[in-house]
Amino acid sequence: MGKKKQKLVLPPELPPEVPDEEIEVSDEDLHFVKENLEYAGFVSNLDTHSITKHVTRVADANEGALESLYEKRLRKKLENKEKEQTAPEVDPVDALPVKTLDGQLYYRRVAKEPKEAEGETKEGESISRDPALVKLTKAEKRAKFKKLRKEAKKQAKEEVQQTPQAEVLEKENNLSLVSDEVKKDLTEEEASENKKYKLAELGTALLADPESNIKHIKEMLEISKDGDSAIVILGLKSLLAVFKDIIPGYRIRLPTEKEQEMKVSKAVKKMRFYESTLLSAYKAYVQKLVALQQQTVYKRVAVRCLCTLLAAVPHFNFRDSLLAAVVNNISSQDDVVRQLCCTAVKSLFTDEGKHGGEATVEAVKLIADLVKAHNCQLHPDSVEVFLSLSFDEDLGKAERSDMDNRAKNKKSKKRKGLDEPNHMPENDRKKNKKEMLAKTREEVSADYKAASYAQDPQERRRMQSQTLSAVFQTFFRILKLAVRPISEASSVPGASGTHPLLAPCLDGIGKFSHLIDLDFMADLMHCLRKLAGNDRKLEDSSENSCQLTVSERLRCCIVAFKVMRNNLDALNVDLQEFFVQFYNLILEYRPGRDQGEVLAEALKIMLCDDRQHDMQRAAAFIKRLATFSLCFGSAESMAALVTVKHLLQKNIKCRNLLENDAGGGSVAGAISKYQPHAVDPNRSGALASVLWEINLLIKHYHPSVSSIASSISTMNTSNNQVYHSHVSPQQAYKELSQENKSLAPSSEIKRASSKKRRGNDYMPVKVGSDLNLTNQIEESEVRKKLAEHFWLLRDIQENERLRSELDRTTLSLNLYEHYKKQKKRKTR
């Protein structure tokens, strides 16, 4: 078969040359270009700057101007060549010179590599780096991103003819998504760093010159509204530092409309602008803090800023909003927030010179309203802040004496004037002069008071009376609620019992008992008597009636005695019921459950501080405390024996309890038999008993307890001996409790206990002390084992959590590598 003839395919003819002025673009051409933008993308990438360099003709220019332009270009080229020839290849600083005999210096020269080669080597080094091993900088990231984009565009142009249009569009979309992600990472890092630097610059400028740079504070507020939490926290802290430094020592009063219409100087205008800008920015900042404290992320930072502002500038504007925010968080479940608020309120109470006492009144009223709104179910710290209050007792006494003296002088002068029969004109002139002098002195004193920073005593007395009334109103509300039976009592975290505010309330009443009005004294003592005796058992026998603890009932007895002693001149109250309650509470006391400090304080106030005691009552307490000291720890036993020693020293007839050989019969009385289960100490018949407990306490394991017991046993023979008389029950309890805490088992004690377990012939000197120490050793070993066990469990849980996180990260990395491989295959 013959070969087929191949047809020659001629290229299409070129369009005829048409001048640019005659070309007209139709609507169809525009529509085609808009639909096919990818074909015209090369026009946007043209380097117009390099093209204009080679232009030899300039439109609308003379021939002389063109010649001068060519001459300038030639001169520049020649000058650049000369500079390259004359310039040293090596900097004289980097190379050591050589000095000839003529005194001239010659530098060693090394030929430089061309800049293009250096750029190629740098690019090669940056490309050769492994991104997995070395972290790329921002410049290297940008260069890499540009290079990848160029390569992708070249591949897209090559594959345009081979691949269909849909695939090309998909690839371009993928490239744009990757580029957007890289751009976002770079821009977010740069933006955060720029904002941090901006905050630092604006803050330093404001601290350097606040009056001229007060506009910057609004920029700082705008930056603190960012979505990044780190920048918001940094902005809040920087604004706090700025406001603490630039806030003036007075309240700002904005000018009224009439004052703004008046013509003033430039300095006054500048000051008004500064004050108005500062006040508006401070208001916005406080509102932002109040709003952010409701979010868990910013709560601690916002509360810290509010408390710092309240403690630093309580005299400034918007104090009401600061106080409201701080008082609302004073009973927070977060310990950090609660401690910050309590310290801020205590600083207000102690440093009244900053605000003149006005903030104290407002804070106390807000706390009283908070206690009322929550029905006394708050954390004890919210009422314990009242203990840091201080009241002036002798305020204004000197002024009252001066007023009385002036009134007496006026009365005496009037009487003298009435007694004189004739009034001479000279005397009238002298009186007029004295009156004029008195008026001028009064005016001067009034001006001095107005100009001085000292507070008016009457105003101070008025504010303190308002504060005291709000405090006692809160205390009495807590007492009334404690007396009433509560059917549904809600427990508060960090508080003991269903009455969490009762303990700080009783402490406050005991501290300010000398300031209580006598009209409320009868009701107060009635409430304390009910609480100490726990009479609610009889009033409400339901299961929902709540009981007070032994410590709270002891506090009620202590407060009753404090109130009685501070108001002894105007109060006549029989405290026999409180002695009865205390006599029964000694048996209900448990060392691990109740507070030993409260018991020691009750022993001191109720038994040691009283000058006289009934002999039957004193003997009953001596016998019960001796029995009590046998059952409990060394600290409680020491406090009880110190009280026994004190009572025996005061009541000489009670020393018959040490040597009562007859074994019956009362010294003074009608009760002939000892009744240990009696409720009333006056009817117990303790004088008919013997203190046999002291003989056992002499053999106590603790040396302090045994020494005081031996001194008590010898009191009947040596009456003038004074031992432990200067030590109070509180001091004795504190010393021994601290000693027990610091006591640690030594290695010798461990060896002795191990020898005893093995059955050797080792015998300790004191059996009681050895048993106690062995118990301590066993408890310490058990605690160590339990601690190790719980630490091990915690480590296991932490390891499981970390393993789960590791599995998640490895899975995500594998998916990302798989995605990269698929992406490379598609690009190929």
Q: Which pLDDT value is given to residue 180? A: 60
Q: Which pLDDT value is given to residue 328? A: 93
- Has residue 385 got a pLDDT over 90? yes
- Has residue 528 got a pLDDT over 60? yes
Chain mean pLDDT for the chain:
75
Query: Which one has a higher pLDDT value, 672 or 243?
Result: 243
- Has residue 487 got a pLDDT over 80? no
Range scoring the smallest mean pLDDT among 43-57, 312-326, 523-537, 744-758: 744-758
Q: What is the DSSP string of 308-373?
A: HHHHH-TTSS-HHHHHHHHHHTTT-SSHHHHHHHHHHHHHHHH-TTTTTTHHHHHHHHHHHHHHHH
Burial class (CB in 10 A: 0-12, 13-18, 19+), 709: buried
Range of 58-62, 140-144, 210-214, 390-394 with top mean pLDDT: 210-214
Q: How far is the C-alpha of 209 from the C-alpha of 205, rounded, in Å? A: 6
Q: Is the distance from CB of 186 to CB of 144 less than 8 angstroms? A: no
What is the amino acid identity at position 73? R
- Has residue 785 got a pLDDT over 60? yes
Give the pLDDT mean for 522-529.
86
Q: How far is the C-alpha of 298 from the C-alpha of 229, rounded, in Å? A: 8
Classify 105 as helix, strand or coil.
Answer: strand
- Has residue 770 got a pLDDT over 50? no
Percentage of the chain exceeding pLDDT 70: 66
The gap between the terminal CA atoms of the chain, to the nearest Å, is 44
- Has residue 298 got a pLDDT over 60? yes
Range scoring the smallest mean pLDDT among 77-91, 466-480, 535-549, 598-612: 535-549
Range of 16-25, 296-305, 571-580 with top mean pLDDT: 296-305
Q: What is the domain partition of the chain in residue ranges?
A: 145-256+266-295, 574-740, 744-794
Q: Which pLDDT value is given to residue 95? A: 59
- Has residue 457 got a pLDDT over 50? yes
Phi, psi of 98 (to 5 degrees): -120, 125
* Tens digits of residue pLDDT in 710-721: 988 888 644 544
- Has residue 544 got a pLDDT over 60? no
- Has residue 453 got a pLDDT over 60? no
Q: Which pLDDT value is given to residue 505? A: 92
- Has residue 726 got a pLDDT over 80? no
* Tens digits of residue pLDDT in 584-605: 999 889 888 888 899 999 999 9
Q: How far is the C-alpha of 210 from the C-alpha of 220, rounded, in Å? A: 14
* Tens digits of residue pLDDT in 727-738: 888 888 888 887
C-alpha to C-alpha distances, 411 to 406, 415, 416, 421, 747, nearest whole angstrom? 9, 6, 9, 18, 87
Classify 262 as helix, strand or coil.
Answer: coil
